[in-house]
Amino acid sequence: MAKSKKTDRENRRNDAVELLKQAVGIIDDLKEECLESFGNLPENFQQSERGELLETAATTLEEVQMGIDDQMSLLQEVEF
């Protein structure tokens, strides 16, 4: 019985890790879209409010992605 609960917890932890991996992938796609949009702006518009928003969004998304990666590593280390 105890083995079954341990296995269930491990499976749910692994499910959570997979969901976090999916989230990181989505965030990475968003970041890349922002960077591409920024790169497609004419140079004089890159320093505009729109350009700065895209650049800030990409930076923030990268920080979020790194934070999730760190937390995912911790989660993978959890033993039951």
Number of domains in the chain: 1
- pLDDT at position 2: 63
Could you tell me the residue range of the domain that residue 44 belongs to? 27-80
For the whole model, what pTM was predicted? 0.88
Task: Report if residue 42 sits inside a domain.
Answer: yes
Considering Cα of 45, then 47, then 50, then 51, what sign does the dihedral take?
A: positive
CA 74 from centroid of its chain's CA atoms: 15
Task: Report if residue 33 sits inside a domain.
Answer: yes
Q: Packing angle between helix 2-40 and helix 49-77, nearest 10 degrees?
A: 160
Residues 28, 73 contacting (CB under 8 angstroms): no
> Does the pLDDT of residue 1 top 60, yes or no?
no
pLDDT in tens, 29-78: 999 999 999 999 999 999 999 999 999 999 999 999 999 999 999 999 99
Task: Report if residue 51 sits inside a domain.
Answer: yes
Task: Report if residue 5 sits inside a domain.
Answer: no
Task: Report if residue 18 sits inside a domain.
Answer: no
Q: pLDDT class for 3, splitting at 50, 70, 90?
A: confident
Task: Report if residue 72 sits inside a domain.
Answer: yes
